[in-house]
Amino acid sequence: MTRTILSGLLCIVSLAITAQPVLKVGAKHFNEGYILGEMVALLLEDGGYTVERKFSLGGTAVCFEALRHGAIDVYPEYTGTITAEILQGAVSAEYDALQAHLARQYKLQISRPYGFSNTYALVMLKDLAHTYGIRTLSDLRNHGALRMGLSYEFLKRQDGWHALAAAYDLNQQPVGLEHGLAYQALQETSIDITDAYSTDGEIDRYDLVLLEDDRSFFPQYEAVSFYREGLPNDALAQLDKLTGVLTAEAMQALNAKAIFDKTGYQQIAYTFLVEKGLIASKSRVTAGGGMWNDILRHTGEHILLTLIALAASVAVAVPLGVVVYRFATLSRTILYITGILQTVPSIALLALIIPVFGIGALPAVVALFLYALLPVLRNTVSGLTTVDPALKKVALGMGMSRWQQLRLVEFPLALPALLTGIRTAAVITVGTATLAAFIGAGGLGEFIVTGLALNDSSLILQGAIPAALLAVVMELLFEWLERRVIPAHLRRRTL
């Protein structure tokens, strides 16, 4: 007995001695982002570091804010994205100038380039391009009727569609769609042109053609490691191993493996690094725990996120509702503010929360909490205000104190409306919590985000079906609760 305890202690002590600081690696939520993120993570693990993976981060803004505030230590980024999107064109994409500016302005660093440039490009089916005689972006000027389906990020970027259209004098009217769905749309000819990354694995396999950027509009997008100052030297040495090892063709092949052969990111990154002799082949590749295990784990995270956020919003919104009800002058202001919160798009709210709360479960809970506030608050207030005035008068005339009026009469009579509000909030929260994956909080959104990046509908369904079931379970749970606490004749008829 003593020996087991002793050896256990020894084990912990030896772990503590050998343990390097934990490094947090981020990745953007698309194919290449995952593969490169995984390469960075594996290299650091090979160097003896414990790595926390914060993948599936929702876009440049989220990654950059996370890096700046130390929520992650490093993530793969592109020089062109840094100059255009983060620095808003304040600095040229020239490597040295960029590095100096980042160090001075943000105390951030970039590694030397991995070797390929993943620039934006417009692509279309080879046959279609041939039919219309389109080879370059300039050629598009004569084909205004072509249907463009562009990713939301490209539509919004500084160096995206609007700048491109101005530079080339294009007049097509693009619609927005998720990048993961664009290739399918091209195949089904529901769109003619989409934006792509020049290393996308689909380009070759789908028989697509890249339209030549004949006016050199797109800046260079050299892939680099973007990291915080002060990383240990041997960690930097590990990162440096990626310098110059990845050509555009190699990257296309790796991306294609992920999309078409359904090879896991970690396996792809691992195989590549071992083949290049950059990590020892004994390095562990964590085998996934199997689909059901993953579903169970993510469902657990999802439920936890939902319940914590919901409980917090009930704890705040119900008392707040009572205050609002009691002080009519306040009610407009408070309802107005919570109403505004509700209209902020969820992904935008998540991005706004990062500077304050970083990334992970906490900011996700905060965002979900803010979303759940309004339905609970509004139903509390409306439940209280719609209590029969004659009954309020009786309560008053009987000699009830304010607190007694609330506790014995107004609150119980508002309860059906209140429960309806909580129920609405619960269902909204279950749905919105799928977006938590964008800021590294896990949950069922992980499947959906990864599935979208991979264009893997079975993966999307692994997230979507449990999420839908959870919403149904929530409904049933509240129905049961209503039956328990509200007498039949006072129950609301709900659909």
Partner 1 sequence: MPFPVRFDHVSFDYGQKPVLTDITCSLAAHSVVAVLGRSGSGKSTLLELINGMVMPKAGTVYVFDGALDYGNVTALRRKIGYGVQNTGLFPHLTVGENIGLPGTISGMPSPERRRRVAELMELVQLDGSYADKYPHALSGGEQQRVSLCRAMFSNPPILLMDEPFSSLDYSTKRHIYTHFQTLQKASPRTVVLVTHDWEEAMLLADAFLWIDDAHLRASGDRAALDSIKDAYLQRI
409 near partner 1, judged by CB under 8 A: yes
CA distances in angstroms from 281 to 42, 268, 271, listed in the order given:
11, 13, 9
413 near partner 1, judged by CB under 8 A: yes
Angle at 358 between CA 353 and CA 361, to 5 degrees: 90
9 vs 394 by CB, closer to partner 1: 394
491 near partner 1, judged by CB under 8 A: no
Closest by Cα among 464, 437, 451 to 179: 451
**Are the C-beta atoms of residues 219 and 83 closer than 8 Å to each other?**
yes
133 vs 487 by CB, closer to partner 1: 487
* Least Å from the CB of residue 413 to partner 1: 6
401 near partner 1, judged by CB under 8 A: yes
483 near partner 1, judged by CB under 8 A: no
Distance separating alpha carbons of residues 307 and 90, to the nearest angstrom: 44
* Least Å from the CB of residue 428 to partner 1: 28
**Are the C-beta atoms of residues 155 and 161 closer than 8 Å to each other?**
yes
* Least Å from the CB of residue 62 to partner 1: 47
Mapped onto helix, strand or coil, the DSSP state of residue 262 is: coil
399 near partner 1, judged by CB under 8 A: yes
393 near partner 1, judged by CB under 8 A: yes
Question: What are the CB-based long-range contacts (under 8 Å, 24+) for 249-252?
Answer: 250/116, 251/32, 251/116, 251/118, 251/199, 251/223, 252/199, 252/200, 252/201, 252/203, 252/204
Number of residues that bind partner 1 (CB under 8 A): 19
| Tokens of residue 3, six digits | 């020996």
**The total number of residues written for the chain in this structure:** 495
Residue of 9, 291, 356, 490 that binds partner 1 (CB under 8 A): 490
Mapped onto helix, strand or coil, the DSSP state of residue 111 is: coil
| Tokens of residue 403, six digits | 């607190």
Span near partner 1 by CB under 8 A; candidates 54-62, 207-215, 353-361, 482-490: 482-490
* Least Å from the CB of residue 355 to partner 1: 46
103 vs 485 by CB, closer to partner 1: 485
> Phi and psi (nearest 5°) for 123?
-125, 155
385 near partner 1, judged by CB under 8 A: no
107 vs 492 by CB, closer to partner 1: 492
Residue of 391, 465, 477, 481 that binds partner 1 (CB under 8 A): 391
Residue of 397, 476, 484, 493 that binds partner 1 (CB under 8 A): 397
487 near partner 1, judged by CB under 8 A: yes
Residue of 3, 104, 282, 489 that binds partner 1 (CB under 8 A): 489
Give residue 161's Cα distance to chain centre. 22
396 near partner 1, judged by CB under 8 A: yes
* Least Å from the CB of residue 464 to partner 1: 40
Distance separating alpha carbons of residues 203 and 433, to the nearest angstrom: 33
**Are the C-beta atoms of residues 266 and 286 closer than 8 Å to each other?**
yes
List, in order, residues 6 or more apart from 146 with CB less than 8 Å away.
124, 132, 140, 172, 192, 193
Contacts (CB under 8 A) with partner 1, residues 94-123: none
**Are the C-beta atoms of residues 257 and 127 closer than 8 Å to each other?**
no
Span near partner 1 by CB under 8 A; candidates 144-152, 216-224, 300-308, 412-420: 412-420
Element (H, E) at 195: strand 193-197
| Residue ranges in contact with partner 1 by CB under 8 A | 390-391, 393-394, 396-401, 404, 408-409, 412-413, 415, 487, 489-490
